[in-house]
Structure 1
Amino acid sequence: MRGFWSRALRRPWLMAACLALPLAQGCAPVRGVGDMGVVIERASGSVEVVETTGQTVLSRVEGLGDLSHASLVYSRDGRFGFVFGRDGGLSKVDLLTGQLVGRVMQSGNSIGGAISQDGKLVAVANYQPGGVRVFDAETLRQVADIPAIGADGRSSKVVGIEDSTDGCFVFSLFDSDEIWVADLKVPAKPVVTKFTGIGSKPYDALISPDGRYYIAGLFGEDGFALLDLWNLDAGVKRVLPDYGRGEKRTAVYKMPHLEGWGMTEDLVFLPAMGRHEVLIVERAGWREVGRVPVVGQPVFVMAQPDGRRIWVNFAHPDNGHLQVIDVPSRKVVKSLQPGPAVMHMEFTPRGEHVWVSVRDGDRVEVYDTATFERISTLPATKPSGIFFTSRAHKIGL
């Protein structure tokens, strides 16, 4: 295909002929992918391919299986999206042609994945069977299998998988209370460094934007497990020991998503589990320095690209709300009600707009982040995750 396009560029008549053909015949439109993205339609096993400049839906791709907890990563050039389905399916979508170009059923139950720093490997975290399977990004051929057998000898669910630097993936073992770092410079021979006893039931994780810190949330006890990937010899440390539901156990209606933490230059804004608060943490030393009262239990706490404001959505029964926190004043400055079941938010690359999925309203709303005005509405079938191609150039997304 690469050779075809190089010939077409030298022959205007060939380029014109290709542009006149329907996409089904294999010709991709001539456009960049920098303003494109994908909206997950969780109930129908489909995704919408969208563009943010004109705020339109370009195509719809079907046949992706169970997308009830789907996530996505992008190829290095942003053209291909790798969709991780809950049913264990790994699907490869071509954004330019609007086609499903590859799909493998790699497990019985999976919970997300990551793409390597060089874009050559796609890793999937699995519940059943527990472990991580790694695939060639070009062909979807399996190149590595890392069973998650913990120190107790039992198989464990894998959660919180993140791409790191230097050819590594980092992930947590929910049932075994461990964090593993897998070096896949030689995919056929993974080198795994294991950290045990990191805290009870790590349920999700994130990696800092610079790729240095891996942070796992703990469901079985308060606090977080922190691993400095620049200094593995230091082991896993416990931070924010008072974070969680505390001695008085409260109902948690939806687990917070740690990848949705809002990180600014020196602060972290994170959801208080089971509480109607957003916690403010100082990145130097990981010390709590404040709290912001909000309307419900936060799920995603996301910073605009400029770090000036934090956008928050909520668990049921308050999931029709959206609130905006001003970072300098540390106060809620705007409350919105986009519609029933606000599931996810995604900022355009420079942050002038935010796209909001309204699952039970079957639509995506687009807001101006400066004025908070709604500027567009796009139809979508039970939308959940929204993923723009700018993620292709960021660690951990």
Structure 2
Amino acid sequence: MADTRLAISLRLLPLLLTAALALLPVAVSAETETEALYRTHCAACHGEDRLGGLGPALLPGNLSRLKPAAAEAVIRDGRAASQMPGFAAQLEDDQIASLAEWIYREPEVEPRWGQDEILASQVVHHPDGTLPDAPRFDADPLNLFIVVETGDHHATLLDGDTFTPIRRFATRYALHGGPKYTPDGRHVFFGSRDGWITKYDIYNMEVVAEVRAGINMRNIAVSADGRYVMAANYLPHSLVLFDAHNLDLMKVYPAVGENGQSSRVSAVYAAPPRGSFIAALKDIEEVWEIPWPLPTEPVVSTGHMATPLAPRRSHDTPNFRVRRIPVPDYLDDFFFDLDYQHVIGASRGGEGGMVVDLDSGEKVADLPLEGMPHLGSGITWEYQGRRVMATPHLTRAAVSIIDMTSWEVIKTLETDGPGFFMRSHANSPYVWADVFFGPNRDRVHVIDKQSLEIVETLIPEPGRTAAHVEFDRYGEKLLLSLWEDDGAVIVYDAETLEEEKRIPMSKPSGKYNVWNKTRYEEGTSH
């Protein structure tokens, strides 16, 4: 009987295998077809491994600003003012949907981007010192604005006196974290979501050099003397240091805690009075400080923030060596006091903030800031003889105002919705706060710095997002964005609050004034 059962089983085995194999190709062939479509139509620009090339990286972390439905539209119709063509004539709807779904999947093997890949990516178009030293335009170099237009991935160089565009030029895909200037205002560095750092000579309106620091980059920082650039990466988990002249690679720092755990890097900032970079780590309870070499000549800031002639060092740390500062919670959003002694940090998953003394490494205060404070957009000013800071909240319709001596919340202003950006200027009596999230995103509040009250609510264009203010160097005029693909930059009189001019732009996500950013003006983010 056993032999009979075995014989029957052996006869059935081929049938069972055939049935199993008949099911397998359904899943495999669909995956293979999608991959084949990608190799045929996409890989030439976006890379065989989706790490990017002429086009951006197509990985989930790099596509956070693009919804899947919008990705389908881009594949089908192309993207205006870019090299992305439409494939409606070559691909069926189900093929487009399959490609769009596939690029949002994590790769089976985590892609690598280390020293060899960084070195191979560097391109130097104009070596340092080879371009003329005189500006090719007639405008105040310290009152220029760079306007980042994310709608079609361009930037506009804008005269801050006449508010006339000087040059509009293409940028990398999805710039992130804000451009950073050298102290003289001649060069600006852009960082893209997919890891590219671009050095641009404003005087000559030319790209000087480019290098790819990572696959998914959060932001960049430039040292106070303009000699070094540091990049913060989500993928891979690293900080990367460059010589600013030609973006030559200097060092890669794996973001690994003392316990051996690897971490994404939320952001990196320059702390001029300390002569160091400060990095926020997202997945380990540490803040890192990395000092740069002290300048051989004294550097004097003429702005509101009085940078010492030689940055102070409260600790004996050799140049470019990591100083680990343990903190009692995960931090991924930062604000600093004016002398960079204290960092005010918050975790995106937390319900508050904390204040850490960077010299001692001790926590000195907890802040009751429910609703995800957006500390990176915080600002400060003098109020009744004391320094206060204010921050919007990403999930709460409020602005919190904090005494920076006692670290107490002295007022909470109720707003028409959660906000994203706040801006002011030392010469302006007002703070401008947008209402970026929710149904009232077309509004912007004007807050009196001394009464701590909302004195005006403007609606530049009903139903269209109003966001991100930046003042000119004198605090007399300001720019506000209509944050739409067919948007505009609106020029206001900072005293009368009257609109003066509209400049059409494609989703002008941020405006960055040279004077305010290089002098660390108190009313702008750093």
**TM-score (norm: length of structure 2):** 0.65
Structure 1 residue 117 displacement after superposition: 1.7
| Aligned mates of 1:208, 1:110 — CA distance in 2 | 25
Larger RCO (CA under 8 A, 6+ residues apart): 1
Question: 3-state SS of the aligned residue for 1:191?
Answer: coil
Question: 3-state SS of the aligned residue for 2:420?
Answer: strand
Which stretches of structure 1, 4 residues or longer, exceed 4 Å deviation after superposition? 1-6, 186-189
Question: 3-state SS of the aligned residue for 1:329?
Answer: coil
Q: 1:105 aligns with which of 205, 212, 217?
A: 212
Greater shift in the superposed pair: 167-176 or 208-217: 208-217
Structure 1 equivalent of residue 467 of structure 2: 343
Structure 1 residue 79 displacement after superposition: 1.2
Structure 2 equivalent of residue 11 of structure 1: none
Letter in structure 1 aligned against 2:389 = V
Contact 1:195 1:236 in 2 (8 A): no
CA displacement, residues 57-103 of structure 1 (integer Å, 9 cap, x when unaligned)? 11012142332x34111012101110111111101122222222221
Letter in structure 1 aligned against 2:192 = G
Structure 1 residue 188 displacement after superposition: 10
CA displacement, residues 338-394 of structure 1 (integer Å, 9 cap, x when unaligned)? 242223211111211111121214211111111111111111112101111011222
Q: 2:343 aligns with which of 210, 214, 235?
A: 214
Alignment length (residue pairs)? 364
| Aligned mates of 1:70, 1:2 — CA distance in 2 | 27
Letter in structure 1 aligned against 2:320 = P
Structure 1 residue 190 displacement after superposition: 2.2
Query: RMSD of the alignment, in Å?
Result: 2.5
Q: 2:378 aligns with which of 261, 273, 295?
A: 261
| Aligned mates of 1:4, 1:304 — CA distance in 2 | 34
CA displacement, residues 230-280 of structure 1 (integer Å, 9 cap, x when unaligned)? xx224234421x2124xxxxxxxxx65423212112211222452211111
Letter in structure 2 aligned against 1:182 = I
Mark the runs of 5 or more structure 2 residues left unpaired by the alignment. 1-127, 295-316
Letter in structure 2 aligned against 1:120 = R
| Aligned mates of 2:131, 2:197 — CA distance in 1 | 28
Question: 3-state SS of the aligned residue for 2:194?
Answer: coil
**TM-score (norm: length of structure 1):** 0.85
Q: Within 5 A, what are the aligned runs for 1:55-66?
A: 55-66=163-174
Letter in structure 1 aligned against 2:159 = E
Mark the runs of 5 or more structure 1 residues left unpaired by the alignment. 9-26, 246-254
Letter in structure 1 aligned against 2:432 = W
Structure 2 equivalent of residue 22 of structure 1: none
| Aligned mates of 1:288, 1:309 — CA distance in 2 | 19
**2:504 maps to 1:379:** yes
Cα 1:57–1:129, aligned 2, differ >3 Å: closer, same or farther?
A: same
Question: 3-state SS of the aligned residue for 1:155?
Answer: coil
Structure 1 equivalent of residue 415 of structure 2: 294
Q: 1:284 aligns with which of 374, 393, 405?
A: 405
| Aligned mates of 2:470, 2:277 — CA distance in 1 | 24
CA displacement, residues 128-168 of structure 1 (integer Å, 9 cap, x when unaligned)? 11221111111111112221112342321112321113431
Q: 2:431 aligns with which of 292, 295, 310?
A: 310
| Aligned mates of 2:155, 2:264 — CA distance in 1 | 27
| Aligned mates of 1:336, 1:80 — CA distance in 2 | 35
Higher strand content, 1 or 2: 1
| Aligned mates of 2:327, 2:345 — CA distance in 1 | 13
**2:262 maps to 1:141:** no
Question: 3-state SS of the aligned residue for 1:151?
Answer: coil
Contact 1:177 1:197 in 2 (8 A): yes
Of the two, which has the highest radius of gyration?
2
| Aligned mates of 1:228, 1:346 — CA distance in 2 | 30
Question: 3-state SS of the aligned residue for 1:82?
Answer: strand
Q: 2:334 aligns with which of 193, 205, 224?
A: 205
Higher helix content, 1 or 2: 2
Q: Within 5 A, what are the aligned runs for 1:17-166?
A: 28-29=136-137, 31-67=139-175, 69-164=176-271, 165-166=273-274
Structure 1 residue 196 displacement after superposition: 2.7
Cα 1:150–1:173, aligned 2, differ >3 Å: closer, same or farther?
A: same
Structure 2 equivalent of residue 236 of structure 1: 363
Q: 1:192 aligns with which of 285, 307, 322?
A: 322
| Aligned mates of 1:220, 1:316 — CA distance in 2 | 18
Structure 1 equivalent of residue 442 of structure 2: 320
Contact 2:415 2:435 in 1 (8 A): no
Question: 3-state SS of the aligned residue for 2:214?
Answer: coil
| Aligned mates of 1:320, 1:52 — CA distance in 2 | 25
| Aligned mates of 1:4, 1:152 — CA distance in 2 | 48
Letter in structure 2 aligned against 1:90 = I
Structure 2 equivalent of residue 354 of structure 1: 478
Letter in structure 1 aligned against 2:260 = G
Contact 2:155 2:171 in 1 (8 A): no
Contact 2:132 2:204 in 1 (8 A): no
Q: 2:519 aligns with which of 359, 370, 393?
A: 393
Contact 1:208 1:214 in 2 (8 A): yes
**2:226 maps to 1:226:** no
| Aligned mates of 1:3, 1:146 — CA distance in 2 | 31
Structure 1 residue 3 displacement after superposition: 9.2
| Aligned mates of 1:307, 1:228 — CA distance in 2 | 30
Q: 1:331 aligns with which of 449, 453, 456?
A: 453
Structure 1 residue 330 displacement after superposition: 1.5
| Aligned mates of 1:286, 1:166 — CA distance in 2 | 22
Letter in structure 2 aligned against 1:51 = D
Question: 3-state SS of the aligned residue for 1:259?
Answer: helix
Question: 3-state SS of the aligned residue for 2:322?
Answer: strand
Question: 3-state SS of the aligned residue for 2:437?
Answer: coil
Greater shift in the superposed pair: 174-183 or 58-67: 58-67
| Aligned mates of 1:199, 1:272 — CA distance in 2 | 19
